[in-house]
Amino acid sequence: MIVTYDLSRFGIPDGQIIVGAEQQYWTWKPGGPDRLGINIIAYYQTFLDRKLELKMGYLRNQNEFAGTVVGGSAGASVLGPSSNILYQAGMSNNAAPTPALNVKYNFDDRVYNKASIQRSLSPDGQYAQITENPTGLNWSTANAGILLLDETGYKNKAAPGLPETWLRAGAGFNNSSYTNFHYPKQPRANANSVYYVAADRQLWQSDVQGSAYRGIYGGFSVMYAPPYLNRVNQYYEARLYAKGLFDSRPSDQIAIVATNTVWSNFAVDAALAKGNLVHRDSTAISGTYTAHLAPGIYASVGLAYINNPTSITHTRQTGHALNLLVSTSIFF
């Protein structure tokens, strides 16, 4: 549950107070841990005729950087698991918000630069972060330092005869204390990083004069993190999606996404030396249909096939997975 309070009624244009809370319960315990806590506590404000945007508080930078959520509507969802490589670099997310200050400067209505100084997630991973700080209110967790993020991008909205385009590239630098997979018995390292480029482009407009956003889109993401500090070393994603493809369903979305996740060679070799069954990457393909059922109500159903669905180690019974995904979002 997330609530946004508009301060324009008090003469503060674009001022917003955002407060959210969430509860998670897992029947499959490795997916957890369970939590009840904040989702976001933030203040948003613009300056200089909206050239400068400020957002601060306990934030979810997963939704602020890299464009892991594409589609442009309230019903859009994360297309692929690209966030995993960002989480291990310390980026906050829905289940683990952290204190942060985000500043975005819009050079014009298309080119922007966005920077953040954020308290990092636990360098031992998302599970350790939530276990130590389930409410999300703690200022920090063990071995967590500061994550600096910066993204530069070009983004134009769809218009008659002008396809929508979004290009972005970014980097993150983290001084948290990470275990070095190459030398696990040595002291922790304090210089992690992540890099990414992504692009999305409208390939065809189905209703040029009426609703220019409707049509077919394509996109890709490429991400990299040093293998000696990160289990996920590389990530590749290709996506094809459509908005309002059918005249009778102008607000629905369809997405087909293919991904490849490459594991750290140091972490894989360490697991192999212990006699485990290992794999060096994981591939997946998924299809999702998101329906706009009523004002503010969206429902999604999808199917995902994953080759090597576990992390680095696996058993002979966990080589493949077929997942059915169902979700509902309500806005009022």
Give yes or no for a contact between 268 and 312, defined as CB atoms under 8 angstroms apart. yes
Q: Which pLDDT does position 71 carry in this prediction?
A: 52
Give yes or no for a contact between 202 and 217, defined as CB atoms under 8 angstroms apart. yes
Instruction: Collect all residues with Cβ–Cβ distance below 8 Å to 19 and sequence separation of at least 6.
Output: 2, 3, 5, 38, 40, 41, 42
Length of the chain: 332
- The count of other CB atoms within 10 Å of the CB of residue 109 is 11
Please state the pTM of the whole predicted model: 0.91
pLDDT digits (tens, 9 = 90+) for 122-135: 999 999 999 999 99
pLDDT digits (tens, 9 = 90+) for 207-229: 888 899 999 999 999 999 999 99
Instruction: Using DSSP, state whether 65 is helix, strand or coil.
Output: coil
Report the candidate in 49, 12, 52, 76 with the shortest Cα–Cα distance to residue 239: 76
Q: How far is it, in rounded angstroms, from Cα 166 to Cα 238?
A: 15
Cα 330 to chain center, whole Å? 20
Residue matched to tokens 């960002």: 86
Q: How far is it, in rounded angstroms, from Cα 220 to Cα 199?
A: 6
For residue 180, the one-letter residue type is N
Q: What is the mean pLDDT of residues 175-190?
A: 91
- The count of other CB atoms within 10 Å of the CB of residue 211 is 16
Residue matched to tokens 């407009």: 205
192-205 and 232-243 beta bridge pairing: unpaired
pLDDT digits (tens, 9 = 90+) for 71-81: 544 444 444 55
Report the candidate in 231, 308, 322, 304 with the shortest Cα–Cα distance to residue 269: 231
Torsions phi, psi for 131 (to 5 deg): -60, -40
Which CATH code, of 3.20.20.120, 3.40.640.10, 2.40.160.180, 3.40.50.970, is assigned to 2-330?
2.40.160.180
Longest Cα–Cα distance in the chain: 66
Cis peptide before 33 (omega within 30 of 0): yes
Portion of the chain with pLDDT greater than 70, in percent: 96
